[in-house]
Structure 1
Amino acid sequence: MREEREPDGYAGYTELDEDHVEYVEYEDGTGHEGEAPRRSGARKAVLVAVGGVFAALLAVGGYGLYNIVNAVQGGNPSSGGSGTQGSDTAAKAPQTPPTAEQAAAVAKDFLAAWGRGDVTAASALTNRPETARAALAAFHENVPARTLALTGTGPAATGTAEEPAVGFRVKAEFEGATAAWEYDSTLSVVRGESGKAVVRWAPTVLHPRLGPGGTIAVKALPDPVTKPADRNGKPLEGFPSLAAVLPKIAPADGETVVNGRAVVLSGGAGKDPEQLFVLTPPSAPQVKLTLDADLQRVAEEAVKQQAAGGKPASLVAVQPSTGHILAMAFSPSGYNRAVSAGQPPGSTMKVITSAALLQAGVTPDTVVPCKNTTNSPRPWHNDEPGDFPSYTLTDDFSHSCNTGFIDKGLEKLQPGTLAKVARDQFGLGLEWHIGIDSRDATIPLPADKDEAAAEYIGQGKIQVNSLAMASVAATVQSGTFRQPVLREDAKRATAPGKLPAGVAQDLRAMMAKTATQGTARAPMSGLTGQIGAKTGTVETGGQSTNSWFIAYRGDLAVAAEVDGGGHGNSAAGVAAAQVLKAGKG
């Protein structure tokens, strides 16, 4: 800056450097840029003094000059006054960070606007209004809370001197929800372009775990999966034989399945959805199956041992007094042969043949010779070679003599009698509904004596499974057919007739002798209480035979079968006995 003595007629003259304008004042007191007329001596003295102040201020910097110039012109440091000079200088002035008080004030206004759903007002209090408006609008649409309360909790530790932060708590209440959704978050405050304190917008303002590209919304939860429990409420997950069974168990008719709702955070690419809060949990009525988890564990292990080497096997345990299925195991997995297979049961069928013979006039003590071979006209033989002409019906049963049953059956029974007794008194051939899909037993009408002879000893075209034969053992033990069920609400089939009490008593005696003195004595050894058993061996026409075994001990009946397992008292007998020992009747 330079000072020059003014020419005649001027009151004073001051020229600033290139960053400032010249200022002169006319004699009449009006200020203009450019030339000036003469002024009075008093005016000249004032301007000379001001000019001296200007010179001093230039020595200490422009900020002081800015204030003084504005003051002289009647301006305001914060507003820039009304002159051009003040406006230019204000735009270039450095901004100070928001104070804690300013941060708290803008946070309060922002949270209030957000809480009442005024997204326009809330977004206007941010440094990115358009982005904030879209995000807040989406939040209100996708998270339809009945009430939304947002309360400041004071300065947050995440803040800095340049960007103070304010903590706040969100509480959202929803129609039908079991509780309110509450969480804590923070927001930062900065100076906006206008110089005002505003909220620095970021996705985390909505929720601390929300990132770029993420969304928050109330969504329906997947349909609840029924997880049936055993009869004592114990879980049944983890059993190989039940893995494919349990998902098929549905709640009873009329019971309601509730699909839940949750606030879900969906992240950006590659991030799995996250449940932030469950509004209403999904629920399905608990279904208690008749299974016993402890007995199921033993059955699984027993089948696993006998199926070693790839031999298909299965086992079913039934409670005679109720018909409840207590255990159901099979191998390999994928096909439930325990209730869905169909195959001949071998000599375990002699229980039903004996029931028919006893009702046809034969007694347990009736002599029924056990020949080495017999013909129907097809030739038949026994596992135990030799002729035993003095064997009674009980002896034939306990030693599993094929020829004695064939001869006496062809003599005493009419075609179709075996199927009728099986259906009317043992329930085989009726349509069963156990709670899952199962295969019903079939005992076809024999076309000739060869087919009849085969059926009397459990071979030929008879098709049963472990479920059906466990029911046969249970019917003998209790004297009454009770259709096996896996769940209480299953619709049971009722047998048209009833096993005569005397016949049931005779059968129990015959099965008891088989368990203690006959072909079943080895696997049944050591078992006490009311016991009974019958072995079965099925010739397949190849090199191997299939092993069958049915038995009971007190109020527990079991049937097991092992393809290629050999004689009935070996593979199947061992598996069945393991379950009987664990069940303790």
Structure 2
Amino acid sequence: MARGVKVAVISTAFAVMVGGAGYGAYNIVSALNGDGGTGAAGSSDAKRSGPPSKDEVAETSKKFFAAWEKGEAASAASYTNNSTVAEQLLTAYSDTAHITDVRITPGTATGDTVPYGVKATVKYAGKSKPLSYRSRLTVVRGVTTGRALVDWKPSVVHPELQTGDTLVTEESANPPIEAVDRDGVVLTKAKYPSLGPVLDALRAKYGEQAGGTPGIELSIRHQTEGVAETSLLTLAKGKAGKLETTLSATAQAAAEKAVKLYDQSSVVAVKPSTGEVLAVANNRKDAFNAAFEGTVAPGSTMKIITAAMLIDNGVTSMNGPAPCTEDAVWQGQTFRNLTGMQPNLNATLANSFMRSCNTAFIKLIDEKPLTDESLTKEAEERFGINHDWQTGIVSFDGKVPAVSGPDRAAGAIGQGQVQMNPLNMASVTATAITGAFRQPYLVSPKLDDRQLATAKGLPYNTASQLKQMMRLTATQGTAAKAMAGLGGDIGAKTGSAEVDGNAVSDSWFTGFRNDVSAAALVQGGGHGGDAAGPIVAAVLRAAG
């Protein structure tokens, strides 16, 4: 990391107030900062109200750009509505990022928004390189003074900056890597954009072990501890070390294309016979790897684990009874099925599974010998959930807590306190169809002697029934539409997870085709088969 270099980091307190609390926080910040400071930057303006005029937008942005070009951080910050935080980042722009000769070309304003292009030079340790990019800013009315001010966001300085980030130019903290897929195909951010955060994380962990030497780079340093820096510009190339991954370029390309169908979507594909991760992709505005690190309710995809619990404990079997009633009451809380589902009092577990009947599963969790701990034990001991997975990068390995009351029933259908991500659910499917838990991983554990998590897996009889129920779901049940046209041995499970405060549920889907399992999440995507389903099907079509 930095060698004796002072890094300006955006104040967490201000970041929370500005980024998370909306209009009320804007008033607080404005009051603390005098709407961007006082003095020559606008002391002669009379207090005004209403949206800034066209002339005010032009004048404010012009003055802000002029001060920024001159490297006058305090002056430029005074034209913003958060001068303290703005000054820190604008100071870092020249002092720690070593960006000079800044020239800003404004575009045509649209209302209060001004697009612009930036051309500059990065100079460090006798090396220099041109830098160019485009961004935009918005001019707002200051609450306290009535001045027209730049609405401060880190993206004003660079479009890839987020709250808490700063810019640094120095010898890179980690040597570069040349990541390759399982067949030796080079994986780059340019060709596989969704892999950007994953490649950064792999570089941070394995750069030195891969045998490379560091270069000099302009990078984004993130506030969150453990998050790898994001390289923006290389002034002097280091030597890249070769890093072999388990990814498949073919599967990755399909995953990248598939997640573009929906915002806030993520997908993971794994090889059930080995645990190797074949693809990981996200379509998000931030750099968060939700596919590996997400912590959200998995909806009815959780019924794979719940069904395994019922079979393992002798409560029922795929051909045994699992009546689908109109509603089910558990300790005072009423649970219902999706709108339009017809009750079937003679349903088997296979029938209720493929139709995704909530009430059938909730009514069965009261049967002996099941307890508050039964679902947790099934998830952890059989499927390896919450077992400290060592994938090669940061990942969340699922959570199925032992709970009582209504949350016990909610957990059985993937709601309540259960938390998963696509990596977890792709692994759950892999365990369900093979009977063996093989912890997913991106980089061979032989490289750094990592100890992969273990679990005892499923009895053969249980795995056989789960696989057959998933086959029925993919061909006759809720997943049939999404899986239509796929050949080979296929199976699936749909899920919709309600999220407090959201009008539309999260869309979940997990499935398999031959020796590939995949799971996808589309936050706010609705029914599992409608949004997440086509994503999984596209990946299975390419990789299975």
Q: Shared fold by TM > 0.5? A: yes
**Equivalent residues of 2:437, 2:456 under 8 A apart:** no
Residue number among 528, 536, 541 corresponding to 2:495 in the alignment:
536
Alpha-carbon deviation of 1:247?
A: 2.3
Equivalent of residue 398 in structure 1, options 331, 351, 354: 354
CA contact under 8 A between 2:306 and 2:412: conserved in structure 1? Answer: yes
| Partner SS state of residue 459, structure 1 | coil
Per-residue CA deviations over 1:471-513 (Å, capped at 9, x if unaligned) read 0111122221100001012624333422101100010010000
Identify the match of residue 283 of structure 2 among 331, 334, 348. 331
What is the TM-score when the length of structure 1 is the normalising length? 0.56
Distance across 1 between alignment mates of 2:416 and 2:503: 18
Q: Is the 8 A contact 1:226 1:247 kept in 2?
A: no
CA change 1:302–1:459 in 2 (3 A) is same
The correspondence of residues 213-292 of structure 1 with structure 2, limited to 5 A, is: 224-237=175-188, 238=190, 239-250=192-203, 255=209, 257=211, 259=213, 283-292=239-248
Alignment check: 8 A CA contact 2:210 2:242 kept: no
The aligned counterpart of 1:484 is: 440
Residue 411 of structure 1: SS of its match in structure 2?
A: coil
* 1:502-552 Cα shifts (integer Å, max 9, x gaps): 100010010000000000000111112111100001122432111000000
8 Å CA contact 2:382–2:437 kept in 1: the answer is yes
After superposition, the Cα gap between the structure-2 partners of 1:228 and 1:358, relative to the gap in structure 1 and judged at 3 Å, is same
Work out which of the residue numbers 307, 329, 334 in structure 2 matches 1:375.
329
Deviation, 1:350, is 0.3
Return closer, same or farther for 1:227/1:517 CA change in 2, 3 Å cut-off: same
Q: Distance in 1 between matches of 2:385 and 2:301?
A: 14
Instruction: From 491, 501, 512, give the equivalent of 2:460.
Output: 501
Q: Is the 8 A contact 1:225 1:247 kept in 2?
A: no
Equivalent position amino acid for 1:392 in 2: T
2:18 alignment partner in structure 1: none
SS in 2 for 1:460: coil
Rounded Cα–Cα distance in structure 2 between residues aligned with 1:260 and 1:410 = 59
Which one-letter code corresponds to 2:344 in the other structure?
F
- Answer yes or no: is the 8 Å Cα contact 1:306–1:575 preserved in 2: no
What CA deviation, in whole Å up to 9, does each residue of 1:228-250 have, x standing for no partner? 11111112112222112212214
The structure-2 alpha-carbon separation of the partners of 1:558 and 1:486, relative to structure 1 and needing over 3 Å to count, comes to same
Residue 425 of structure 2 is matched in structure 1 by 469
Distance 1:494 1:433, change over 3 A: closer
Give the counterpart of 1:293 among 249, 253, 257: 249
Paired with 2:541 and 2:363, the residues of 1 have a C-alpha distance of 37
Match of 1:521 in 2: 480
Return the alpha-carbon distance in structure 2 between the equivalents of residues 324 and 231 of structure 1: 10
Aligned to 2:382: 425
Matched, 1:577 2:537: yes
Conserved? CA contact 1:434–1:492, under 8 Å: no
> Partner of 1:443 in structure 2?
400
Aligned counterparts of 1:553 and 1:319: Cα–Cα separation in 2: 10
Choose which of 396, 410, 418 in structure 2 pairs with 1:454.
410
Distance in 1 (CA, whole Å) between partners of 2:208 and 2:460 is: 40
- Structure 1 residues 492 and 258: alpha-carbon distance in aligned structure 2, compared to 1, 3 A threshold: closer
Instruction: Please show how residues 97-176 of structure 1 align to structure 2 within 5 Å.
Output: none
Distance in 2, Cα, partners of 1:493 & 1:406: 34
Structure 1 counterpart of 2:269, one-letter code: A
Task: Give yes or no for the alignment of 1:302 onto 2:261.
Answer: no
Once the two structures are superposed, residues 202-231 of structure 1 have per-residue CA deviations (whole angstroms, 9 ceiling, x without a partner) of xxxxxxxxxxxxx99xxx997741121111
Structure 2 CA distance for partners of 1:399 and 1:563, relative to 1, 3 Å: same
Query: CA separation of 1:255/1:364 partners in 2, compared to 1, >3 Å: closer, same or farther?
Result: same
What letter is aligned with 1:321?
S
Mapped contact 1:410–1:452 kept (Cα < 8 A): no
Distance 1:581 1:379 in 2: 39
**C-alpha deviation, 1:577, in angstroms:** 0.4
Q: Which amino acid aligns with 1:460?
A: G
Match of residue 568, structure 1, among 516, 524, 528: 528
Q: Name which structure has the greater RCO, CA cutoff 8 Å, separation 6+.
A: 2
Q: Percent identity of the aligned residues?
A: 39
Q: 8 Å contact 1:430–1:493 — kept in the other structure? A: no
Rounded to whole Å, the distance in 1 between the matches of 2:410 and 2:355 is 18
Alignment of 1:545 with 2:505, yes or no, is yes
Query: What code does the residue aligned with 1:363 have?
Result: S
Task: Quickly say closer, same or farther: Cα 1:511–1:221, change in 2 above 3 A.
Answer: closer
Q: 1:367 to 1:274 in 2, by over 3 A?
A: closer
How many residue pairs match? The answer is 348
Find the aligned partners of 1:521 and 1:572 in 2 and give their Cα distance: 13
Paired residue for 2:269?
317
Change (3 A) 1:385 1:244: closer
CA–CA distance in 2 between the matches of 1:549 and 1:298?
Answer: 16
Cα contact 2:176–2:212 (8 A) shared by 1: no
Cα deviation digits, residues 271-317 of structure 1 (max 9, x gap): xx999xxxxx954541111111121111011101122xxxx110000
RMSD after superposition: 2.6
- Structure 2: distance between partners of 1:522 and 1:374: 28
State the match for 2:516 in structure 1: 556
Which deviates further from its counterpart, 392-401 or 438-447? 438-447
Instruction: Give me the whole-angstrom Cα distance separating, in 2, the residues matched to 1:225 and 1:580.
Output: 32
Match of 1:341 in 2: 294
SS across alignment from 1:228: strand
Find the aligned partners of 1:284 and 1:387 in 2 and give their Cα distance: 61
Give the Cα–Cα distance (whole angstroms) in 2 for the partners of residues 415 and 393 of structure 1: 21
Aligned residue identity for 1:579: V
| Equivalent residues of 2:473, 2:479 under 8 A apart | yes
| Residue aligned with 1:505, SS | helix
Secondary structure of the residue aligned to 1:495 is coil
Dislocated runs of 4+, deviation >6 Å? 220-223
Q: Is the 8 A contact 1:410 1:453 kept in 2?
A: no
1:254–1:510 Cα change, 3 Å: same
Report the AA paired with residue 476 of structure 1. Answer: A
Report the Cα distance in structure 1 between the residues aligned to 2:426 and 2:417, rounded to whole angstroms: 19
Where structure 2 has 5 or more consecutive residues not aligned to the other structure, the ranges are 1-125, 128-169, 216-233
Tell whether the 8 Å contact from 1:347 to 1:457 is kept in structure 2 after alignment: yes
Give the letter for the 1:472 counterpart. V
Following superposition, the deviation at residue 440 of structure 1 comes to 2.2
